[in-house]
Amino acid sequence: MKIGADYLGDGRCEFTVWAPAHEEVAVQIVSPVQRLLPMQKDEWGYFKVLAENIEPGTLYCYKLGAEADRPDPASHSQPKDVHGPSSVVDHTQMNWNDADWSGIPLEEMIIYELHVGTFTPEGTFEAIIPRLRELHEFGVNAIELMPIGQFPGNRNWGYDGVFPFAPQHSYGGSEGLKKLVDAAHQQGISIILDVIYNHFGPEGNYFSDYAPYFTNHYQTAWGNALNFDGEYSYGVRNYFIENALYWFNNYHIDALRLDASDHLYDIGVKHFLQELAENVDALSKKQGQKFYLTAENDLSDTKIIRPIESGGYGIDAQWNDAFHHCLHSLLTGEESGYYEDYGTCEQMAKAFKQGFVYSGQYSPFRKKFHGSDSSAIPGHQFVVFTQNHDQVGNRALGERLTHLVSFKGLKLAAGVLMLAPNIPLIFMGEEYAEDAPFLYFVSHTDQKLVEVVREGRKKDFAAFHIEGEFIDPFSTETFQQCQLNWDKRQEGKHKVMREFYQHLIQLRRTLPALKQLDKENLEASAVEEDKLLFLRRGSSGDQIFCIMNFNKNKVTCKPSPGGIWRKILDSSDEQWMGSGSTLPEKLIREQEVTIRPQSFALYELETLAT
């Protein structure tokens, strides 16, 4: 069931809203000329009216019986913030230039996650466009936008949005987003949109005035869960499925990232995620282009990404937080919070080989057995990262890895990321060792809510035993601190780091052993006492061998990959601002070698063992 204001052209617009508990609903036209349009209710609780003399930009809201007017829950535009009227949008006005675009295959993606408000000084969709060419030349072919659904004010991560169909007005709204997507496609870049189907933000949340969108059967970190399996859940499920199809159809979005999908509680016969995947698959077949769904999920459960015919939900890929946690704890030595569960090279090797680190073992942090065996899941179904908005922004001081580890540690992290048989995600600025923090920020208009947010953040940080001065998320200065220092990418160590990432991406795309994201031709092993990890990928004559040293001291070892191997990259080379390599240009059978602290070296097979 299509919902919202569907502009049909020639001044005609069909309004549809779900309000099953109400007997009377009307469209209140606010401007340019006020008038009231009664709506007709169908058997499923949807109210409709086909209105004449409605032009794009018309402001409207819904009058729910004798109650106050409310904005459209499926509003396509909120020009006057979350409490104001909704606006009619004509989605046929855009002159698209991407008719020949078919998207980037998932297994080829190099994803770049960015926050629209802090990526440029202007903080708009269109301000990103001039940087697209450089990003593509660097190696990025997929940009993941943090949530852009209308939120209160103009400073927010996006996870407090309350209008999932309305691109944030201060970012440039519907028109600005379409221009960005069109320009990205012309540069050969897919656009992934982070969407939130597990909760709504607190301010401007009028959903309960319309229908039973929430249930008290389950509780989440945001209060009552969304109603995906109770009475009237059909309307809630339809709302979010329509939202997904809306982005693909009207904005030419290529993929969606589903935020915290483990908070979508549904014990019905068909889980909402499966129904969503089926609808997106049907659209893909209809359009002749594959649209992707990726999911954030904290359960390490393969059911999310297993095919539907194998009892899974059919989601294309999921974020693998365990990969990040292993790497982060190895590099920083941090053990608080969920890092308590990680910190060994053996775990890092398992992340390479299987994906999930916990596959049914006891988790000290969770105080329970956790995870499932992911060894049979293809590598391209895992998105991995060394940093992202959560892992940086949920720290009290918003520190990036740049603040936590040495320059050589940053290079080692880049190597682990780009040599993994998974889909890599780079957090904006990571590629040039950005040193601006990424903090949590909001601009709510409700002062009581601001205080609740402040106290909530302090409580979250207590779990990590973090000390230091609390940074106010409501402060404008907090937001301004997070803006990228984009010009740094061309100077000093920042320039070297960017070139290092770029070189790794080129190797990933040109070496057959790195190009294929399969696990069948992969070996990963560790020497725990020395903090060494050995990685071997490829088959026949196309193989690579990598030595990774997570030790803060140099280590002498005798790797035994067999055959003769030619060195093609060493992170400790002077070219990469290192101290100079101690490793041989050729690795011959079982040769004793010494590797510098927190470095890695990549070798390519020259001759097989005889």
Task: Kindly name the residue from 266, 296, 316, 341 that is annotated as catalytic.
Answer: 296
Q: What are the E-state strand segments in 39-162?
A: 40-41, 46-51, 59-64, 69-70, 86-87, 111-114, 142-145, 149-150
Task: Kindly name the residue from 203, 259, 275, 570 that is annotated as catalytic.
Answer: 259
CB distance 441 to 155 below 8 Å: yes
Q: 97: which residues sit within 8 A by CB, 6+ positions away?
A: 182, 185, 186
CB under 8 A, 24+ apart: contacts of 472-479: 473/439, 473/440, 473/441, 473/442, 474/441, 474/442, 474/443, 474/444, 474/450, 475/441, 476/155, 478/439, 478/440, 478/441, 479/117, 479/118, 479/155, 479/439, 479/441, 479/443
CB under 8 A, 24+ apart: contacts of 235-239: 235/18, 235/20, 235/44, 235/45, 235/46, 235/211, 236/211, 236/212, 237/272, 237/275, 238/1, 238/3, 238/18, 239/3, 239/18, 239/73, 239/74, 239/213
Instruction: For residue 498, give Cα distances in angstroms to 281, 328, 492.
Output: 37, 20, 10
Beta bridge partners of 318: 295, 382
Catalytic (active site) residue 296: yes
Residue type present at position 354: Q
Catalytic (active site) residue 90: no
Instruction: For residue 443, give Cα distances in angstroms to 148, 167, 170, 453.
Output: 15, 17, 12, 11
CB distance 487 to 122 below 8 Å: no
The C-alpha atoms of residue 178 and residue 248 are separated, in whole angstroms, by 11
137: nearest Cα among 177, 110, 163: 110
Q: Which residue has the tokens 């974020």?
A: 319
The C-alpha atoms of residue 460 and residue 456 are separated, in whole angstroms, by 6
Beta bridge partners of 317: 294
Cis peptide before 364 (omega within 30 of 0): no
The C-alpha atoms of residue 317 and residue 533 are separated, in whole angstroms, by 26
The C-alpha atoms of residue 131 and residue 119 are separated, in whole angstroms, by 10
Using the Cα atoms of residue 571, residue 439, residue 344 and residue 605 in order, give the sign of their dihedral. negative
If residue 536 lies in a helix (H) or strand (E), which one and from where to where? strand 532-539
235: nearest Cα among 206, 255, 214: 214
The C-alpha atoms of residue 219 and residue 24 are separated, in whole angstroms, by 31
Catalytic residues: 259, 296
